[in-house]
């Protein structure tokens, strides 16, 4: 590692979270570990391996590139791609034994140009229903009936039938109830059509933890694996984050009252002040919205001041710190902690938005059982 900015991923914590979630779900419910977006920034392959070892039955990705990376890493579990792929990519998906999300009869029509019906490979699909998220999926029985003949093809297996909730994280669950009601009706359509379907599923992390009885055959768990969940709404489980991120002070300077800091003169000192520069910026995923949020410098809180630039940002320090002092953006430093939730509140977003935005430029260091295991950034891997 040459650069003084890194993220630490506690794989043991990810494992413990999955084991806790597993205990929480009904026994007959399979656990699909969602590792899209580089496992919410935690490292896709490392997380997928850990998830499988901890008992995940399925894996899920957003896009075909992500799924191929995981398959090529040697994982044998079923992998569902949550976003529909272009029909011409079906042979590529089959080559890597990937399951597809389907939402339209016209997709199958087009797909048949690339996969003739009598080819030996079976295509495993999960049909996505839109019960009110308004994103992707079938909304009407008409659309479903158009899809049915394609689903009956001898080389098609309907491994799943699913939907996704819009308001699982909100205390008021009336809209969630409406979506469930609609999903149960749609489930009826599938029974009437006598299409054999292996798994019905509807819950992501928050719905699964709040209403385990809703999970049906499978729960698609992303955020909770990484320790992100609304603690107030789910008091009966304890999950912890696995992600922390740190850097080191690059330069210290004492500015006089009235001096400017950062682009556009966005900050002006109101007294003589210690200002520290840290080598991390928005190109690392530390967005300009983080301006005025806090970091820990050797356990002491300090505010990010001025505009965050591409590779560097400045913090206002209450006292002198030597260059090289540890700066913690997320996680513990001394007896202080910066929680991701605090930062999410600062930007008006969610925890997973922050971790999944951390770019490849930031080295991920993996810890298992407390010790450092090995580190990966982008395509570079180093094992100790």
Ligand X SMILES: *Cc1c(COP(=O)(O)O)cnc(C)c1O
Residues annotated as catalytic are 36, 263
**Which of 101, 293 has the CB closer to ligand X?**
101
Closest separation in Å from C-beta 38 to ligand X: 13
**Which of 42, 246 has the CB closer to ligand X?**
42
Q: Should residue 205 be labelled a site residue for ligand X when binding is judged by CB under 6 A?
A: yes
Q: Should residue 82 be labelled a site residue for ligand X when binding is judged by CB under 6 A?
A: yes
Q: Should residue 34 be labelled a site residue for ligand X when binding is judged by CB under 6 A?
A: yes
In whole angstroms, what is the distance from residue 264 CA to residue 266 CA? 5
Torsion (CA) 277, 332, 341, 202 in degrees, nearest 10? 130
At 194, list the tokens. 């006598």
Q: Should residue 223 be labelled a site residue for ligand X when binding is judged by CB under 6 A?
A: yes
Closest separation in Å from C-beta 128 to ligand X: 8
Do residues 222 and 242 lie in contact, with contact meaning Cβ atoms separated by under 8 Å?
no
> String of b and e for 193-227 (b: at least 16 CB within 10 Å)?
bebebebbbbbbbbbbbbbbebbbbbbbbbbbbbb
135 is in an annotated binding site: yes
Do residues 102 and 147 lie in contact, with contact meaning Cβ atoms separated by under 8 Å?
yes
Return the CA Rg of the chain. 24
Span interacting with ligand X, options 44-52, 149-157, 217-225, 312-320, rule CB under 6 A: 217-225
Do residues 251 and 234 lie in contact, with contact meaning Cβ atoms separated by under 8 Å?
no
Closest separation in Å from C-beta 255 to ligand X: 43
Do residues 161 and 197 lie in contact, with contact meaning Cβ atoms separated by under 8 Å?
yes
Instruction: Identify the residue among 222, 227, 281, 331 touching ligand X (CB under 6 A).
Output: 222
Looking at residues 234 to 273 of the shown chain, list those that interact with ligand X (rule: CB under 6 A): none
Closest separation in Å from C-beta 236 to ligand X: 17
**Which of 226, 366 has the CB closer to ligand X?**
226
In this structure, the number of other CB atoms found within 10 A of the CB of residue 72 comes to 10
310 is in an annotated binding site: yes
Span interacting with ligand X, options 51-59, 88-96, 199-207, 245-253, rule CB under 6 A: 199-207
Residue 343: phi, psi to the nearest 5? -70, -40
Q: Should residue 204 be labelled a site residue for ligand X when binding is judged by CB under 6 A?
A: yes
At 99, list the tokens. 């399951």
Residue nearest to ligand X (CB): 222
Dmax (CA) for the chain in angstroms is 78
Q: Should residue 164 be labelled a site residue for ligand X when binding is judged by CB under 6 A?
A: yes
Closest separation in Å from C-beta 206 to ligand X: 6
Instruction: Identify the residue among 221, 242, 338, 362 touching ligand X (CB under 6 A).
Output: 221
Span interacting with ligand X, options 71-79, 85-93, 113-121, 222-230, rule CB under 6 A: 222-230
**Which of 229, 267 has the CB closer to ligand X?**
229
Q: Should residue 220 be labelled a site residue for ligand X when binding is judged by CB under 6 A?
A: yes
Looking at residues 299 to 338 of the shown chain, list those that interact with ligand X (rule: CB under 6 A): none
Pairing of strands 371-377, 363-368: antiparallel
Do residues 273 and 255 lie in contact, with contact meaning Cβ atoms separated by under 8 Å?
yes
Site size for ligand X, by CB under 6 A?
Answer: 12
**Which of 132, 204 has the CB closer to ligand X?**
204
The candidate with the shortest Cα–Cα distance to 89, out of 77, 78, 76, 102, is 102
Distance separating the N- and C-terminal Cα atoms of the chain = 12
Torsion (CA) 136, 107, 35, 377 in degrees, nearest 10? -120
**Which of 312, 341 has the CB closer to ligand X?**
341
Closest separation in Å from C-beta 221 to ligand X: 5
**72 Cβ contact list (under 8 Å, min separation 6):** 96
Binding region for ligand X (CB under 6 A): 34, 36, 82, 164, 204-206, 220-224
What residue numbers does the annotated binding site for substrate cover?
A: 135, 310
């Amino acid at each position: 590692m040459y650069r003084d900015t890194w993220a630490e991923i506690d794989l043991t914590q990810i494992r413990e979270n999955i084991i806790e979630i597993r205990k929480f779900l009904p026994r007959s419910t399979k656990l699909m570990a969602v590792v899209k977006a580089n496992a919410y920034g935690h490292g896709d392959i490392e997380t997928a391996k850990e998830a499988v070892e901890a008992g995940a039955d399925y894996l899920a990705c957003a896009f075909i590139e992500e799924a191929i990376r995981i398959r090529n890493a040697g994982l044998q579990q079923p992998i569902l791609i949550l976003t529909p792929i272009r029909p011409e990519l079906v042979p590529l998906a089959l080559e890597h034994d990937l399951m597809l999300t389907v939402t339209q009869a016209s997709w199958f029509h087009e797909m048949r140009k690339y996969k003739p019906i009598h080819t030996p490979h079976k295509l495993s699909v999960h049909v996505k229903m839109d019960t009110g998220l308004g994103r992707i999926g079938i909304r009407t029985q008409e659309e479903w009936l158009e899809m049915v003949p394609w689903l009956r093809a001898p080389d098609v297996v309907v491994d799943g039938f699913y939907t996704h909730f819009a308001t699982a994280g909100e205390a008021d669950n009336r809209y969630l109830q409406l979506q469930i009601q609609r999903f149960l009706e749609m489930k009826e359509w599938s029974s009437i059509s006598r299409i054999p379907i292996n798994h019905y599923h509807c819950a992501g992390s928050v719905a699964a933890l709040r209403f385990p009885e809703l999970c049906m055959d499978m729960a698609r768990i992303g955020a909770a694996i990484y320790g992100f969940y609304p603690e107030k709404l789910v008091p009966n489980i304890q999950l912890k984050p696995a992600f922390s991120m740190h850097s080191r002070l690059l330069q210290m300077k004492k500015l006089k009252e009235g001096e400017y800091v950062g682009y556009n003169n966005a900050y002006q000192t109101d007294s003589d002040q210690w200002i520290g520069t840290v080598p991390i910026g928005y190109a690392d995923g530390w967005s300009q919205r983080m301006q005025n949020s806090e970091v820990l410098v050797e356990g002491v809180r300090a505010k990010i001041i001025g505009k965050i630039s591409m590779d560097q940002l400045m913090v206002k320090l209450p006292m002198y710190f030597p260059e090289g002092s540890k700066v913690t953006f997320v996680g513990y430093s001394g007896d202080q902690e910066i929680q991701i939730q605090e930062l999410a509140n600062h930007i008006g977003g969610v925890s997973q938005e922050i971790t999944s935005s951390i770019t490849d430029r930031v080295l991920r260091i993996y810890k298992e059982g407390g010790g450092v295991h090995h580190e990966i950034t982008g395509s570079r891997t180093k094992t100790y």
